[in-house]
Structures are given as C-alpha cells and as structure tokens.
Amino acid sequence: MPGTRRCHPERRDPMAENYSKSRQQAEIAFDKEQSQFFARGRAVEEQDSLVLAREEKTLRLREARLAKELQDQQMADAATAAKTTRKA
C-alpha cells in the first residue's frame, strides 16, 4: 500500500531509492526513534514481570510463614494443655 509505514528497515520498499536525501534521513531518524520507543516498552514489560514475580514470591513466602507460625502456636498450645492435664 502506498504511504504506509513499514516496521522493519530491511523490508523497505524497493522504490525507497527514489526518495530524496532528506526523506531518507527522516526515515532513518524515525526508525531510530521507533526502535528506542519499542526498546523502552520491552524494558518496562520486563520490569513489570520482575515486580509481579517478586510480589507473587513474597505472598507465597508470607503464607508459608503464617502457616508455620499457626502450626507452632497450635503445638505450643497442645504442649501447654498436656502439662496442665498431667498436673491435674
């Protein structure tokens, strides 16, 4: 289609050789900006996935710690109950 942008510079229109020098420079500058924009997007996505993974791990560890604390408390309560039963 005439007038559409292509994402990949290696797939340029064969008619690109007919573009003026200023048009070619503009195309190169645009491709550079576009590449930087997409690189930033990928970096943000990667950072978001790291944050999500950290939050999930923190939640999993917190749940494990709370379960262990509950188990320890129940064992302590059972031990206390056993001591009072023996004394009585």
Residue-level length of the chain: 88
Confidence bin at 1 (pLDDT 50/70/90): very low
**33, 41 Cβ separation under 8 angstroms:** no
Sign of CA dihedral 36, 42, 45, 47: negative
pLDDT tens figures, 32-62: 999 998 999 999 999 999 999 999 999 999 9
Q: Give pTM, 2 decimals.
A: 0.52
Residue 71: the pLDDT is 98
